[in-house]
Structure 1
């Protein structure tokens, strides 16, 4: 009796202290099952299958995750769109199928096959594949989870088509990090024409990989075989599939589509104990589908990013000059068919190939001849770039979504009328003669101009200049000429920034009327305007008495004209007329983030989904500035009023007057002129003038906490303490009450884990030591992946003590400012 009691006590203890028990088997038969308190484990202890709840207690799923990775990472979900209402489900083999039954024994999900044999068994393999097979023939899979992916592609798992069964294997994102149901984004392989992959946002294409060229996808130049990572693309009469394999033990790699619509390859390295970002897309403006329209070429290292190839011109010149290249390019000269030539483009992503013709057995010369014989042919290229190139791809439609790379693309031959290539010797001689003649005339004109100018200077009093001459000197010497200088060792192209005349802007803004005024800052006022063509614009007019003057204006023109990203505001042009200096931007319907977030009447427009999208958008824009743009840019004044919102509440970073360029090997700089806004400045910048990417990260962290809470960091004081918003958030976090920080107007329509992840990211970004703060690469990964491992935050900077200045003081005010940094009082003179 005593022995029986001991056994009972032992099993009772197991239930209490180990509520989920891993079965010592990897196989399910008709005689066993998995319930909520059990899991199935692969034979090598790599993967585990069981029940889980994510974000909601009344939604339960059966999924597969890595067994020995501390941060649970799901790779497959059986009933993602049909959850159980509670944990009382059963996962088993019945009627020769794998089934999931609810508490009433009704089927919720099934493998749903009809060809099963007499005896079947389900096995969880070390690859993460759950297979159903006959007991008599274990190698014959009747069904496998690899054929029905969720958001993850694992090694040796195929993406693409089984042409015999018409089975399409593709990835679909989770709805959110806490909701595994099917989201808006999917990654699919199109096998038509010359097969390639597409990232879809519902029914719209967001990104295209380019076709497989024997080595890599044409649009992924970073894709190189490594010792531990191999890629394979198969195309034949039976299948068109892409897969990858890992050759090193204890190294895990996966390709996912995250809920934000970003395609990511993540690699788990045991030494770091975290998922490391290996590659992601889309990463810049040129990764977005058809950014430059038909025949347009996108180059992320150029400004503007869109250009027309030789023999083509913008189809919509007005939109093109305003940096909207979506209408693409058109031919200058119609094709003549048999007399046409070919323009050789190098290092490009091949145009969209779903309607292209492919012959893998002919040479490039035969491909050219074949294209010439077909008057509808618009371009040709090699199908395989290995061994000098083999095979043939021919396009007969418009060339769409071309991108140019510094290296790593491939050759494309675009059909042109012979006259556009200028083959004729007589034509070349004529061009040379004309050029020489023009050169002589220009030299004579310059000599006359210099003589005339010296003559005028002799007549003018010393130091005197005309207003028109002063404005022209400013434009030529300070803006355009500076665009030709070298930044960070890289020679810049001349700016192609449209110049607006004062009268047209005055007319567009109703003579800068109060009714059209959008806002005002230290620089002056911003007005809404409308061009004659109907485009809405925002005009930033520099005040003559502004503390932010010529230097900030020039800085903004130099920098933002070269920056191209969906989360950066687009500069359309500038105006310099006598003493007037204006910048013309795209119009943002919802104005600045602070005008919505901190406005009681409008803050309810910011649902949690919108707030999260704004946080992620700002992070992607900042990542572009720090790492992916042609220059490394430190913004130095990131705050809610400098985040603009378009009609769909998408965020765009603005106001680059305070920004600075860093060299590729430069990590930190020092300034005696501290600029920025109190409440957003990092401690090392405010106190010692040290700024770096980490000072921008600090400002971003403040923004995150403001977006979550709906409260300003500066001007917020907890009723029972001296804490500002950072200190208040830090205290709630330490007490395990982080969710109390969320803005009440959000209501209950949010995922707890997503909110807590944002708060944790915000606190990591505002840590007092710059070395402890994450980079924006890591921030984007942490925000976009529900499985990313995040460290615990340390004490924030600026979290203790009340500022001695009660008003919201910006550095644009030239007066003494006193504020506290962790109980250390600092006075800044002329703090700009």
Structure 2
């Protein structure tokens, strides 16, 4: 009897337990991925998609104190893909997320409405988190594929697989991406990525209302301005355009792979793929990445080519509209026709591998052959160009331009064919005119050969001078070095055509530069270094420039001058300073750069009266900009370039505080498969030099990474790294930051002039990246591609840094008898060190 009573008691207890559990479970959710109209979600509870890929719930980003409802990857360190109340956060953790009046709503603790979806006409609504990461509201009694509302129609900063990017023309819904304000604030940021469906659809990246980058129109396979956009086995791209909708999407066939496209708070479009082996997001595409990605960089009818120098050129039959600005590498005014058009007599120039021009006002006929395209365009006198609207399967359809052609770019491969209207004489069409040309050529052939020979000799002589190889000459020809109003102009200056070895750079005469700088007046002096002085100047047309004049007493400037001309003129990037021209006349060697309104980083960063101008957002943008510039030099430029003298004084800041890496006098170019070199001539600046370079003369891309790490820590701390020596038994900056990091006091090294408006998460991420970059062993340091990823991603898994490299060098205050036996000069942070090999 006792046994039966005990058993009966246990049954009642068990039944009561499951009854209570069932009650509380039903009050929360009928299943892990679904919420009904009688249930609600509060902090600590989440919806999880059936596949366990995505999770929805309450979160607080970074070190923010505000709370949001959003969606993130469940099995990946927090990467948020959608936020409901991005611009109206909860001020505490108490909130309720539920269905009310056929809408999804969010209430705060006081029952104030914080956010809501559109109201629907659902009779029995349910909310569900799908395996795609899409939060939907549907009628429980209807087809599960019919959604009354979905989060995919209201993206934040991320595009997921099978998510539509573009327009529903029936409802007027425009699905576009908008950046977060910062890593701590998912509120609406400055940058947006939108699809323009008028004309020939294409996408634009904007900062507020200003266009920064254009994708080019969809050509059936890819956006014409994204030649890297190649389908792979697991990923395909789709573009749909009809009377109901215009949108782009991508599809991942392997469900175990994750990929996303995001627009960052710093204004980058980035595509990531998750790499399980490294537990990190891998960035395999981003834009804008170089100068040619800048919107309308070369103006109307200008062609941008990042593999040319300068990057802007005019197509055949056109010439620069503003020749003086063009020669100073400002191509924004574009090109104009050499010969007026004559409608029915005009011809078409065939251009290959092109990013198609801006296409918002074009006319598209998707059922026309390319041959008919030419006929239709030739008969319409206002038609300026045409191309296939679809390049798949040999090409089909037509797109017609009727105005000026903007934002064109030429690629080594990729892009597509473009046909531009030109006067027949500019095409070089031959028939009867050919006979006349041949006759004239025979008559003046000898004269042409003579003039050509003299021109080639003269040009090579001037280029040899500009490269530092001054030829022997007598007094009678010293005054003949610079003619044509001080600027040497050839056909190549107009077209941008040149061989790989030949370098075209505008040559200005000394009198022009002296006038521009008020005869190098002291009040125009911007700075001074081992090379010589830098002065501010203003050219006749009003353009401000920086003039770098080689000191006649400099023992290190001639080689650096030649190197600068050879290297920096060949590379173009938004985070590299532009070399506009040079002057070599008599004993003068001068370089002319674009003027940077905010001077150099060290001028502001280490000046206590000015350092407050560098708030945290500016500092973080400067760090990221320097990283992207170095990545371009190491990986994305035509030549792999090691800078070798990266330091605060060689980072210039324009009027928007955009950083530009300068001073390539000590840079070295690597071959495609070369990763390291050795030198007996160690150059650089103590305080920024890697141990293996300072000690053994070994330099590589990891040497620049070390210098970058020092720069990062200086920018965060607002202090100089005092060189690789101990002063009064105190550690240098690297050691100080390292000690604070190990003690969990990383935020204590932040420059106090930053104030309180900063993201602790970003600060700590920058410190960790900086310490990773200054590790003693070169193989432990990350590549610049990894550094860029770690800086830009809030969820990238980063290793813990090891001990920084301490290269102990002689203090400049120490002297001994042996020091005078070497041709050696060095200092800390400011002055370049050059250890010359014996002659």
Structure 1-normalised TM-score?
0.89
Q: Is the 8 A contact 1:517 1:525 kept in 2?
A: yes
| Aligned mates of 1:215, 1:662 — CA distance in 2 | 35
| Aligned mates of 2:50, 2:85 — CA distance in 1 | 24
Residue 130 of structure 1: which of 121, 132, 135 is its match?
135
1:436 matched to 2:480: no
How many residues get paired?
A: 783
Aligned twin of 1:773: 781
Aligned twin of 2:264: 258
1:571 matched to 2:576: no
Secondary structure of the equivalent of 1:391?
Answer: strand
Summarize the alignment of residues 573-722 of structure 1 with structure 2, pairs less than 5 Å apart: 573-714=581-722, 722=730
Q: Could you list the per-position Cα deviations for residues 465-524 of structure 1 after superposition, in whole angstroms to 9, with x for gaps in the alignment?
A: 54786899999xxxx9xxx9xxxxx96152221111112222222222222221111111
| Aligned mates of 2:769, 2:30 — CA distance in 1 | 36
Seen in structure 2, the aligned counterparts of structure 1 residues 305 and 443 have a Cα distance that, compared at 3 Å, is: closer
Seen in structure 2, the aligned counterparts of structure 1 residues 179 and 719 have a Cα distance that, compared at 3 Å, is: farther
| Aligned mates of 2:740, 2:664 — CA distance in 1 | 34
Q: Is the 8 A contact 2:725 2:811 kept in 1?
A: no
Residue 366 of structure 1: which of 350, 372, 376 is its match?
372
Q: RMSD over aligned Cα, in angstroms?
A: 3.1
Q: Could you list the per-position Cα deviations for residues 677-720 of structure 1 after superposition, in whole angstroms to 9, with x for gaps in the alignment?
A: 00100111111111111100110110000001000011699999
Q: Is the 8 A contact 2:72 2:81 kept in 1?
A: yes
Aligned twin of 1:208: 214
Secondary structure of the equivalent of 2:345?
Answer: coil
User: Which blocks of at least 5 consecutive residues in structure 2 are unaligned?
Assistant: 1-5, 19-27, 459-470, 493-497, 816-821
Aligned twin of 1:73: 79
Aligned twin of 2:126: 121
Aligned twin of 1:341: 347
Residue 159 of structure 1: which of 149, 154, 165 is its match?
165
Aligned twin of 2:24: none
Residue 27 of structure 1: which of 31, 34, 54 is its match?
34
Summarize the alignment of residues 797-816 of structure 1 with structure 2, pairs less than 5 Å apart: 797-798=805-806, 804-806=811-813, 814-815=823-824
Aligned twin of 1:59: 66
Seen in structure 2, the aligned counterparts of structure 1 residues 213 and 427 have a Cα distance that, compared at 3 Å, is: farther
Q: Which deviates further from its counterpart, 710-719 or 397-406?
A: 710-719
| Aligned mates of 1:31, 1:298 — CA distance in 2 | 60
Aligned twin of 2:796: 788
Residue 397 of structure 2: which of 391, 395, 404 is its match?
391
| Aligned mates of 2:227, 2:738 — CA distance in 1 | 43
Aligned twin of 1:414: 420
Q: Could you list the per-position Cα deviations for residues 281-300 of structure 1 after superposition, in whole angstroms to 9, with x for gaps in the alignment?
A: 11111111111010100001
Q: Is the 8 A contact 1:675 1:831 kept in 2?
A: no
Structure 2-normalised TM-score?
0.88
| Aligned mates of 1:491, 1:806 — CA distance in 2 | 50
Q: Which deviates further from its counterpart, 511-520 or 606-615?
A: 511-520
Aligned twin of 2:505: 497
Q: Could you list the per-position Cα deviations for residues 591-624 of structure 1 after superposition, in whole angstroms to 9, with x for gaps in the alignment?
A: 1111110011111111111111111111111111
User: Which blocks of at least 5 consecutive residues in structure 1 are unaligned?
Assistant: 12-20, 450-462, 485-489, 820-826
Q: Is the 8 A contact 1:250 1:270 kept in 2?
A: no
Secondary structure of the equivalent of 1:708?
Answer: helix
Q: Is the 8 A contact 2:710 2:770 kept in 1?
A: yes
Aligned twin of 1:531: 539
1:91 matched to 2:97: yes
1:290 matched to 2:296: yes
Residue 435 of structure 2: which of 418, 422, 426 is its match?
426
Seen in structure 2, the aligned counterparts of structure 1 residues 543 and 123 have a Cα distance that, compared at 3 Å, is: same
Seen in structure 2, the aligned counterparts of structure 1 residues 267 and 512 have a Cα distance that, compared at 3 Å, is: same
| Aligned mates of 1:390, 1:140 — CA distance in 2 | 35
Aligned twin of 1:764: 772
Q: Which deviates further from its counterpart, 533-542 or 420-429?
A: 420-429
Residue 110 of structure 2: which of 91, 96, 104 is its match?
104
Secondary structure of the equivalent of 1:641?
Answer: helix
Aligned twin of 1:18: none
Q: Is the 8 A contact 2:533 2:548 kept in 1?
A: yes
Q: Is the 8 A contact 1:816 1:830 kept in 2?
A: no
Q: Could you list the per-position Cα deviations for residues 621-644 of structure 1 after superposition, in whole angstroms to 9, with x for gaps in the alignment?
A: 111111122211110000001111
Q: Is the 8 A contact 1:697 1:776 kept in 2?
A: yes
Q: Is the 8 A contact 1:303 1:493 kept in 2?
A: no
Q: Which deviates further from its counterpart, 41-50 or 509-518?
A: 509-518
Q: Is the 8 A contact 1:715 1:807 kept in 2?
A: no
Q: Is the 8 A contact 1:362 1:392 kept in 2?
A: yes
Q: Is the 8 A contact 1:722 1:802 kept in 2?
A: no
